[in-house]
Every structure is written in structure tokens, then in C-alpha cells.
Amino acid sequence: MEIKFSHNWNQKLGNKLFSTIRKSNPQKADYYVEHLDEVFEITLKGEKVCQAKLIDIWPVSLTDIPLYLLMLDTGYTKEKDIFKLFKSFGVDPEDIVLVLMFERR
């Protein structure tokens, strides 16, 4: 299994624990639930970065994620800039997203 990153926001992929926030749909949610506690190949722009175990999944509205978690995930400090970033990926503030937590191997 692989999870792809286009950017290494906040240099998070070098951390022991890191999150990614992805727009949800029923198929994606089912996929990640089925693969909870499994190891994924983490790639950045097509290059292998590491392997990491999916340790938690949190389906939530983007607006309900605490600001500190959004800041850690993106490296941005202002809520309006964070929402603008997610909008550029097709995610509106009221959309349900999946907060995926990984532990590097």
C-alpha cells in the first residue's frame, strides 16, 4: 500500500509521528479502516520517503479540527491561510475529511 504526498508540509514526513488530512468519501474511509495498523509506503513526488504504520483515522469536518493540529499538519499559522490551502486541494471548510495518523518505521 502506498500513500502519496505532493508536498512535505511543515517537514512532517521526517517526524516519528505525522498526520495527513485528506478529503473523505465512503470508499476512502472504508479503505483506510480496512488497512488500519498496516504499513504504508510513503512517497513524496514519486520518491520513496519511508514506511509508516497507519495508527489512527479520524473522520471529521475540516472546521472541527483544532487549529493547533492544522498548524502542525500544514506549517501555516493563520486559519484563513490553512483553509485557502485546503481549498486549493478541493476541500471546503465544511467538508468531511480523514485525519490519518502515521508512525514511521
Element (H, E) at 98: strand 96-104
Which residues does residue 47 pair with via DSSP β-bridges, in sequence order? 44
How much is the pLDDT for 92? Answer: 97
State residue 100's pLDDT score.
Answer: 98
Q: How many domains does the chain have?
A: 1
Percentage of the chain exceeding pLDDT 70: 100
Across the range 30-40, mean pLDDT stands at 98
Query: What pLDDT, on a 0 to 100 scale, did the predictor assign at position 105?
Result: 95
Average pLDDT, the chain: 97
Q: pTM, whole model, 2 decimals?
A: 0.95
CA-based angle 87:47:19, to the nearest 5?
45
Under the banding of pLDDT at 50, 70 and 90, the label for residue 42 is very high
Q: What CATH number does the domain containing 42 carry?
A: 3.10.400.10
Would strands 47-61 and 39-44 be described as parallel, antiparallel, or unpaired?
Answer: antiparallel
Q: Summarize the confidence of residues 16-41 as an average pLDDT.
A: 97
Host domain of residue 9:
2-104
What size, in residues, is the chain?
105
SS3 content of the chain, % helix, strand, coil (to 5): 35, 40, 25
